[in-house]
């Protein structure tokens, strides 16, 4: 069997399930062959050995069961870097790159600021920022010990262990330090809606479940950030597509000034930047 035939098998099996069937098959085969997707597509007639065929077909079968590609390949590109991923962390989303982009606009190249990441997951947000702002430091918390293991691995992978400190802690029990900026992509899906979102069935519930109205953790993050931020410190929040008004109302109630509201690639409000005022 050659590369082209293998890809066609993958396309056919995945087409019924995912609109991303082509790219998924290509990523899974290039991972199997341990070559780049570009190199693979330039060598469509190249034969692949039997062991690789079996491994690739196994990957495709996992994808048929809706396992995210990143859980199969064990990695994911985010911002400008590759992150190790496993089933204990949310697969980093392209929309979350908006937070990184916005935070980099707030931080000058030579700023030496102390930042807090609430719900660090794989570490994709904080590690991406630290790679671009060499004098900044992060504290990162998560309630999931298994997620923290992945984040620590990624910090080591990117040689940043000396600039990011991790705590296994829920946001409502975190009282350490005062920060120039807090970032959080908290769980924000209503617990009743999770079961209807087929695409997330394999991802950790703790990373998705925002309680009955989806706002439980967001509210905790805002309430604690009021004390964790220095005066004039920034809070950068990722929110769900229908949460804008409620989140803004809560921020104002807690005396935050709304600075910017940013839409995602699907034109939904995804990120709110606010300032803690006295």
Ligand X SMILES: C[S@@+](CC[C@H](N)C(=O)[O-])C[C@H]1O[C@@H](n2cnc3c(N)ncnc32)[C@H](O)[C@@H]1O
Helix or strand holding residue 24 (H, E) = helix 21-33
Residue 179 Cβ vs ligand X, minimum distance, rounded to whole Å: 15
Segment interacting with ligand X (CB under 6 A) among 104-112, 114-122, 152-160, 265-273: 114-122
Nearer to ligand X by C-beta: 21 or 179? 179
Pattern of binders to ligand X over 205-244, x per CB under 6 A? -xx---------x--x------------------------
Told to check if 125 binds ligand X by CB under 6 A, we report yes
Q: Which of 256, 243, 238 is nearest to 103 (CA)?
A: 238
Q: Which is nearer to ligand X, 113 or 220 (CB)?
A: 220
Helix 97-106 to helix 124-132 angle (10° resolution) is 40
Residue 187 sits in the site that holds ligand X (CB under 6 A) = yes
CA–CA gap between residue 189 and residue 74 (Å, rounded): 24
- 216, 217, 218, 222 alpha-carbon torsion, rounded to 10°: 110
Residue in 122, 241, 221, 240 with CA at minimum distance from that of residue 179: 221
| Nearer to ligand X (CB atom), residue 10 or residue 92 | 92
Do the beta carbons of residue 253 and residue 237 sit within 8 Å? no
Angle between helices 3-15 and 50-64 (to 10 degrees): 20
Using rule CB under 6 A, residue 142 touches ligand X: yes
The verdict on 144 binding ligand X (CB under 6 A) reads yes
Taking the complex as a whole, the smallest distance from the CB of residue 187 to ligand X amounts, in Å, to 5
Residue 167 Cβ vs ligand X, minimum distance, rounded to whole Å: 9
| Cβ atoms 95, 264 nearer than 8 A | yes
**CB nearer to ligand X: pick between 21 and 188:** 188
Question: For ligand X, which residue of 40, 115, 141, 182 counts as binding (CB under 6 A)?
Answer: 141
Residue 121 found at the interface with ligand X (CB under 6 A) = yes
Q: Does 164 bind ligand X (CB under 6 A)?
A: no
**Cβ contact 248:222 at 8 Å:** no
Q: Does 185 bind ligand X (CB under 6 A)?
A: yes
How many residues are recorded in the chain?
278
User: How many CB atoms sit inside 10 A of residue 78's CB?
Assistant: 24
Q: Residue 199 in contact with residue 66, Cβ under 8 Å?
A: yes
Q: CA-CA distance, 142 to 152, in Å (whole number)? A: 12
- Toward ligand X, which CB reaches closer, 113 or 270? 270
Q: Which is closer to ligand X, CB of 24 or CB of 209?
A: 209
The residues of the shown chain that bind ligand X, judged by CB under 6 A, are 90, 92, 96, 118-122, 124-125, 141-144, 147, 170-171, 185-187, 206-207, 217, 220
């Amino acid at each position: 069997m050659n590369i082209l035939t293998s890809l066609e098998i993958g396309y056919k099996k995945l087409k019924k399930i995912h609109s991303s069937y082509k790219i998924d098959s290509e990523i899974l085969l290039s991972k199997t062959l341990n070559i780049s997707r570009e190199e693979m597509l330039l060598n469509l007639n190249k034969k692949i050995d039997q062991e690789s065929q079996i491994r690739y077909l196994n990957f495709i079968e996992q994808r048929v069961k809706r396992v995210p590609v990143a859980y199969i390949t064990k990695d994911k590109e985010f911002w400008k870097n590759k992150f190790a991923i496993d089933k204990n962390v949310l697969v980093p989303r392209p929309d979350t790159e908006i937070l990184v982009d916005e935070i980099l606009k707030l931080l000058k190249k030579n700023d030496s600021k102390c930042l807090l990441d609430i719900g660090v997951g794989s570490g994709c947000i904080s590690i991406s920022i630290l790679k671009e702002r060499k004098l900044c430091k992060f504290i990162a918390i998560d309630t999931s010990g298994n997620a923290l293991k992945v984040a620590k691995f990624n910090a080591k992978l990117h040689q940043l262990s000396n600039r990011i400190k991790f705590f296994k802690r829920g946001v409502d029990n975190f009282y350490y330090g005062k920060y120039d900026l807090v970032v959080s992509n908290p769980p924000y899906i209503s617990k009743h809606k999770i079961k209807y979102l087929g695409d997330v069935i394999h991802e950790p519930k703790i990373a998705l479940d925002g309680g009955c109205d989806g706002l439980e953790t967001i509210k905790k993050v805002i309430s604690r950030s009021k004390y964790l931020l220095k005066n004039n410190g920034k809070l950068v929040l990722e929110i769900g597509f229908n949460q804008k008004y409620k989140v803004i109302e809560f921020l104002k109630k807690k005396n935050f000034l709304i600075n910017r509201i940013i839409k995602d690639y699907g034109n939904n409000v995804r990120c709110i930047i606010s300032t803690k005022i006295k």
